[in-house]
Amino acid sequence: MRENSPIRHDVSRLTEEDIYLFKQGNHFDLPDKLGSAMMEVEGEPGVHFAVWAPNARTVSVIGDFNDWDPDSHPMAVRHDASGVHECFIPGVPKGTRYKYHINSQIGGYKADKADPFAFYWETSPHTASIVWDLDYQWNDAAWMENRRDKNGFASPISIYELHLGSFRRVHQDRYRSLSYRELADHLTDHVLRAGFTHVEFLPVMEHPFFGSWGYQTLGYFAPTSRYGTPQDFMALIDRLHQNGVGVVLDWVPSHFPADGHGLSYFDGTHLYEHADPRRGYHPDWNCYIFNTGRYEVRAFLISSALFWLGRYHADALRVDAVASMLYLDYSRRDGEWIPNIHGGRENLDNIDFLRRLNEMTYARFPDTETIAEESTSWPMVSRPPYLGGLGFGMKWNMGWMHDVLRYFSRDPIFRKYHHGELTFGIWYAFTENFVLALSHDEVVYGKGSLIRKMPGDDWRRFANLRLLYGFMFGHPGKKLLFMGGEFAQWQEWNHDAELQWELLDSPPHQGVLQWVADLNAVYRSEPALHQRDFKAEGFEWVDFRDAEASVLAFLRRGKDPDDMVLVVLNFTPVPREFYRVGVPRPGMWRELLNSDARPYGGSGLGNAGAVMAEAVESFDRPYSLTLTLPPLGAVFLRPA
């Protein structure tokens, strides 16, 4: 086939302006210029290849079309000091496997590298890139036109987090994972049943090691081929959008794996990563760290982020491991890190990069969101850069998660001594735009499933879990729950297995799923529970001092003064009868939700659907309700 595949060096997709912006770090449409692209030149179809390798002596394209011969199709380096090598090869068809053969100027280094900008990769353990296009006929116009109303701060956002490979398996076919298109059916049906507004995929970007769950990304422009083609992944997002479900993608700009066919030591030098291991190597994950001080690397990463929001219609990016990017001494001992130019521990390059990332995201796609996984008290993560913030739309509330799970793991008899673990979170709840996340990280590595964290016998465990979810959905902040938690999976999450779907044949597990579905329904329908998630005006304590009884009561308020929901929670297995709670208005208060209702697996103790407010002052309010608080129960009420 070699004689039918001549090479041309007079064809380019890059203009002088492209190179100028790339070298400045301000070119954010790089997949349109670098990588492989099917095109016609003078009526002849073929593929244009372009790769950034400034320290390579020579680069050639090797692949199926030339028997992987590095001498067959050499690329030409541009004469503009950009370090870009390119060529056009006629006759190369879609689906062709290829790599770049790098012959470095440094130390005789040679390597065969996958294309950093490839849209499609071979399935691991194979490592080649594949010539592909992104042609697809989208059918989600209605969602895209209105998604600002679905993703905004005043919108109900309840996220179902999942790992594609272990959501469900096909038992009749060697226990394989579902394909993207199979997931479009099963996942959409399940998410609609459970009532979530969004799904969040652990990283789908191509990764060599399945056990990394996608967090060791190499293909920053390619969905993993484990479950199908790029068009198959588009079809999955399309189906979710057509059914009113938003899509959040996990994205990892903090580090990348050291696999030889990937980004590391790309052209015989530390091109994408820092050369000094005190800046460029991450000891926790055995990965390299991106050098965002290099402008071309910034352009590469921001192009990737915008690519998923644009080409794949993603509604949000959850940015992984932000804390590791902010601190030069993150997970390092003295002597293992280099201070910044001011002698401090702050990573100034990454701070600047993250601000630029968020500025460009909201400039290009103002109807999307960026969400930071940031586990420290770094200030103003979700505040605009012009105010000194990092510019994220939202931030995971890791402090709330740790405090609440620690509290719920305690025997109820001791909870009165730890009441502050429940109430402390509200004092900082409005300093950031928080997402309350019960994520995958809480149900792996020996931590046990959420229901296993609950104390007591099975009845108390189920009641505690329903109470936990009631507290989360009542508390200010958007919501996130990892798969399996919605029906109280007993087993800790295992990426090599599917969820325990058989548990849904059991009434207690059916009850938890129904409780989650009803929580989601009320969360969506009641403006008081979502409109002011990020504003102090949306929350009001009724009573946070009853540590002896381990009871909390608070009001959530919407923008309309008539929109209010009272949430009362009893964190002990002792029923509380004739429990008086102050309210701001008279009349009937309807019981919206009761976690102890029999359909959820509870004992059926409650308030007969409604309670009349009496003109009896309580907690500085002119009226009050006399409630029956079920054991380990959450009750939601609103004025009729």
Nearest CA among 499, 497, 494 for reference residue 484? 499
d(CA 367, CA 528): 22
- Tokens 């007591």 belong to 456
Nearest CA among 287, 294, 296, 285 for reference residue 264? 287
Around 71, how many Cα atoms within 13 Å sit in the side-chain half-sphere?
0
For residue 331, give both structure tokens: 């997970």
Contact, 37 vs 51, CB < 8 A? no
d(CA 425, CA 90): 62
Helix (H) / strand (E) element for 578: namely strand 576-583
Q: For this structure, is 259 an active site residue?
A: no
Contact, 595 vs 515, CB < 8 A? yes
* Sign, Cα dihedral of 413, 414, 417, 418: negative
d(CA 619, CA 580): 9
- Tokens 């192009």 belong to 303
With a CB cutoff of 8 Å and minimum separation 6, the contacts of 618 are 580, 581, 582, 624
Q: For this structure, is 149 an active site residue?
A: no
Q: What are the backbone dihedrals phi and psi of residue 71, each rounded to the nearest 5 degrees, phi first?
A: -95, -5
Beta strand 539-543 pairing with 551-557: antiparallel
Q: What are the backbone dihedrals phi and psi of residue 473, each rounded to the nearest 5 degrees, phi first?
A: -75, -20
d(CA 38, CA 278): 41
Q: What distance separates the 2 farthest-apart alpha carbons in the chain? A: 94
Query: In sequence order, what DSSP letters do the residues of 582-622 get, joined into one string?
Result: EESS-EEEEEEEETTSGGGTS---S-TTEEEEBS--BTTBS
Pick the catalytic residue from 140, 206, 267, 373: 373
Contact, 2 vs 69, CB < 8 A? yes
Contact, 632 vs 454, CB < 8 A? no
Pick the catalytic residue from 86, 115, 200, 320: 320
- Tokens 């062709």 belong to 96
DSSP conformational letter for 92 = P
Q: Which residue type is seen at 91?
A: G
d(CA 63, CA 327): 41
d(CA 421, CA 406): 8
Helix intervals (H) in 495-577: 507-525
Contact, 511 vs 456, CB < 8 A? no
Q: Which residues participate in catalysis according to the annotation? A: 320, 373
